Chains A and B, each alone.
Chain A
Amino acid sequence: MMIELKISTLLWIIAVLLFMLLLFLLYIIIQHNKEGRFNRRRDAYVEAYTGDWYDFLIRDTDLSASVIPHNKAQVTAVERIFLSYLKNLQHPEIEKKIQDFANVYLKDFYIEDLKSRLWSIRMNALYRIADFKINSLMDNLESFEKRNISKEEYFQLFKIYSVLQPSKFLEKLDEVQITYSESEYRRLFILLSDNIFTQVFDNFYHYDKNIQFAIIDTAAVKRNMLFISKLKELLADDSLEIKIRALKGLYEIGIVDEIETYIPFVSSEVWEVRLMVAKIFRYAPLSYTYTYLEQLIQDENWWVRSQAAKTIIEDRHGVEMLQQFIVSADDQFAVELAQETIMRRQGGK
């Protein structure tokens, strides 16, 4: 009896499940068809108005009223057109035109999207607001921020502020409650103007480790002479990680104006530090650095040794110096390394 009951229950369960799946299947098929129609409308718009947009954005003609999008499919088409221009051409005038158009005709669609229950729709809207720099939405974003939003949405807000309202960005950066990863901060900082980024750098010790690391890395990428002295200051920091990163940053900027700063690090106890110095010396004349590199080529660490050899051979007189080294040195390991380095150099030619 018990088992019989089980069987009928199971049959019911299966029937219900199958029925639900069937409904779902129907829903998906309908959804697919809807999407197909949506895509066709979108493509039709792109087809019809690409020329008008080209005339407007590139050839400065007036825009006809017919290009104004009236539904979501058309908005998506406009987005596509705009994004392709923004990604492929960096032209302030085009950016301005897109911004102006979006401020007037796309804004309302994004206000609606920001109210969506779906996280992905809200995210897409935030992406577009940042892409098109829609600054007329700042008040809406202010109230959007007060809602219970996700970490990712908050990040997008950050991005938008950094582009459209730097003062607010700096304010938010001070009080940020959510921890983002270094790479996320880097993504934000790289967008900042040098002026704003300098302000962030000035506040270096005010921030968490993640932000500090991101500041160092971004400074290296921005390759502004201004940041060299700032990075050098960080070499005195107590944190080993900051020291190494600052050295790496200086190496990436690739300008060595004096070598005195780096000499103490040649005999650092940490091999990563010695490695970075061996790299940095590539940007200084070998006549100044050779004594130190000779010490580093006999280092106990493999990476340091081979980097020192590479740095020497990069120089015009590198091969000569290594050959001299081979004759005079006692360290068999280092001699072999020097020989291999020379061989590789000659083999590569």
Chain B
Amino acid sequence: MSWPVKTIAERTGDLLPGSPWTAALYVLLTILAVTAFMTVTGLVLIYAERKIAAHFQCRLGPMRVGWHGVLQTIADALKLLLKEDIVPRDADALLHILAPVLSFAGMLLVMIALPMSPSLQVADMNIGVLYVTAVSGLGVLGILLGGWSSNNKWSLLGAMRAGAQIISYEVSATLALLVVVLFSGTLQLSGIVQSQEAGWWIWRAHGCGIVAFAIFLIAGTAEINRTPFDLAEGESELTAGFHTEYSGLRFSFFFLSEFLNMFVLAAMTSTLFLGGWMPLHIGHFTVFNGVMDIIPPGLWFTFKTTGMIFLIMWFRWTFPRLRVDQLMRLEWKILLPIGFVNLFVSAACVVTGCYFFAR
């Protein structure tokens, strides 16, 4: 079974010669849909986090607003919208306002490259992996600027921690990502998904896949500043870290981009290692593969991403936080050497053509 990929960008291109106005309308609708998707995903994730945390902690979580508190997040978002918008007197006002936008933009730009199903991908660049790596680095700029411009020592400490942490862990995340690029032989995200038709890279790439998966997950969790790597916030140490001085709408931008970053990480992990929207296929088990194909690719993507999100939330509500020097040691002395060795081993595997479930 083949999976023809048609992205939204391509469909706009098809419409363009006939009628530019239709194409413009199509682009407008796409922008609206992406915005709506992000907002809804953010709200759902925040609600899910609160409920999952609550059940890990022997309590119920929000129960009052709507059925089982489903409207609680919306109520909170409205509250944040109505709050007074404060810029501290001695803060650098321009950068203070710009920081959450930058943080949000970094996440938004990654979002458009995510392959959610063969027909649901905004743009499919032939250097997708490179693009994602490059653009996701924008987020740290927002955090650094936010901490710097607040003119608060706790914020600055948080921002500096975040800067050191995100830049360090990006190295390991990229090394893990390169393993998949080596095996699939393409930088295109939809190409990586299609290369996993015979089996997902997490197990098809010998041991390398699972090592790369673990490294990517750890480094990714550190990049999105979640427990056990939430040093940039570190509420018990730095009160609220880089967003100590943020309130109202600007705080909610930081908050939303933090949750959507989690979605992006989960989506990227499932795309690279768990086959993305590709159904579960096992070698030449034609009947089994046929049954799996009945489930639409969009649902497969949702299942895998949800599973990864649950895993990341599970980390957060189980582990305590690392210390700042331990964090750096973990990256530079443990993850990075393992990542390099793993990359060399997988390069050897690719050169010798050593795959499981070879095509």
A and B part of one assembly: no
| B binding-site residues for A, Cβ under 8 Å | none
